[in-house]
Amino acid sequence: DTGVSQDPRHKITKRGQNVTFRCDPISEHNRLYWYRQTLGQGPEFLTYFQNEAQLEKSRLLSDRFSAERPKGSFSTLEIQRTEQGDSAMYLCASSFQGGDTGELFFGEGSRLTVL
């Protein structure tokens, strides 16, 4: 297994456009998380899944953000009508709930720049 992979690594878009990020977690992991990180801040929780079920979505997240994990494997995060404030690194992480610690394994992130 090569770890958590995210695509694309970089995305530059114009304000108002839609963007979609994909995350492929470690195959045996049943939990998948999306976080957003800006410079000088820690990762901010967006949403997470156990298998295909979305367990929680941050109250801070507007309706422009949606995430899916249709078959309990890969996940997509879509941002509609992007705004300049959406510019950030979007991190995906996976974990195995039921293991010793449940630590998160992060992907390299997808950096979004909204012009």
Partner 1 sequence: GQNIDQPTEMTATEGAIVQINCTYQTSGFNGLFWYQQHAGEAPTFLSYNVLDGLEEKGRFSSFLSRSKGYSYLLLKELQMKDSASYLCAVKTNAGKSTFGDGTTLTVKP
| Candidate residues 62, 103, 113, 115; the one interacting with partner 1 per rule CB under 8 A | 103
Binding to partner 1 by residue 68, rule CB under 8 A?
no
- Round to whole Å and give the CA distance between 50 and 56: 10
CB 19 within 8 A of CB 79: yes
SS3 10: strand
Binding to partner 1 by residue 11, rule CB under 8 A?
no
Binding to partner 1 by residue 70, rule CB under 8 A?
no
**Total residues at interface with partner 1 (CB under 8 A):** 26
Draw the binding track, 38-67, toward partner 1 (x: CB under 8 A; -: no contact): --xxxxxx--x-x----xx-----------
- Three-class secondary structure assignment of 7-51: ECCEEEECCCCCEEEEEECCCCCCEEEEEEECCCCCCEEEEEEEC
Could you tell me the smallest distance in angstroms from the CB atom of residue 112 to partner 1? 15
What does the binding site for partner 1 look like in residue numbers (CB under 8 A)? 31, 33, 35, 40-45, 48, 50, 55-56, 91, 95, 97, 100-109
